[in-house]
Amino acid sequence: MIRRQMLVYAALLPTTWTAAAVAQDQGTSPPAAGSATAKPETAPNPDAASKADAAPKRTPAPADAYVYIGWPNDGEVVHISPTSPHIKVWFGARNIGVAPAGTYKPNTGHHHLLIDVPLPPLDEPIPNDKNHLHFGLGQTETYIDLPPGTHTLQLLMADGDHIPHDPPVMSKKITISVRGSATAPGAAQQ
Ligand SMILES: [Cu+2]
């Protein structure tokens, strides 16, 4: 209850406010039973900062945050052709904001699309390669190219440093079937 109010409060702060300070304040708040010291206006103190440094760096996520792949659907048969070789994928997020990489505002993150891979380690930055696509500008849709066959897609959100939240905010892993060909039979040039 208190935490939720503080998250809302933090979300209303100007972006020039250091989100890290807010997070540290939350992370080190004692489970104060009616404590008179739990004042929202309290400035971060050096003791709190040093304790936070020693703690894991995972950014907290609200328990009701989730992401989902809006398209394609799980089990979808997706057709590609020389005139339509790309596969559109769009991402949905609820109860968590989408913000560019490098943003440290509480309750935000950016999308990552995992293609044909299991979840990466959740306590370090998500790899950046053709199987782990980062949408660090805050994009919520993309077009991907996949060869014909069966493929899996999964969304995983991460914080400003590309590290998944705690608990991780991720979609169900879906399976799609790509059919057709992006290149015309016998196409020699262009
Ligand atoms: Cu990223």
Pull the structure tokens for residue 43: 């400035």
C-alpha to C-alpha distance for 159 and 101, rounded to whole angstroms: 7
pLDDT of residue 12: 35
Q: What is the pLDDT of residue 188?
A: 56
Neighbours of ion ligand 1 (CB under 5 A): 134, 162
pLDDT over threshold 60, residue 18: no
Residue 50 pLDDT level (bands cut at 50, 70, 90) = very low
Residue 36 CA, ligand 1 centroid: distance in Å: 39
pLDDT, position 88: 98
Query: Distance between CA 120 and CA 163 in Å, rounded?
Result: 10
| Phi, psi values for residue 39, rounded to 5° | -100, 130
Structure confidence by residue, pLDDT tens digits, 72-116: 999 999 999 999 999 999 999 999 999 999 999 999 999 999 999
Q: Kindly give the distance from the C-alpha atom of residue 17 to the centroid of ligand 1, in angstroms, as a whole number.
A: 22
Lowest mean pLDDT among 42-56, 143-157, 175-189: 42-56
Beta bridge partners of 110: 158
Provide the mean pLDDT of the chain. 79
CATH for 66-180?
2.60.40.10
Tell how far the Cα of 22 is from the centroid of ligand 1, in angstroms.
22
State the distance from the centre of ligand 1 to the C-alpha of 128, rounded, in angstroms.
8
* Average pLDDT of span 133-158: 98
> 64 or 33: whose pLDDT is higher?
64
d(Cα 162, Cα 122) in Å, to the nearest integer?
Answer: 10
Name the pLDDT band for 57 (thresholds 50, 70, 90): confident
What percent of the chain stands above pLDDT 90? 64
Please check the confidence at residue 41 and state whether its pLDDT lies above 70: no
Residue ranges of domains in the chain: 2-54, 66-180
* 33 CA → ligand 1 middle, Å: 38
The phi and psi torsions of 85 (rounded to 5 degrees) equal: -80, -15
In the reported structure, the alpha carbon of residue 181 is separated from the centroid of ligand 1 by a whole-number distance in angstroms of 30
CA of 27 to the centre of ligand 1 (A): 23
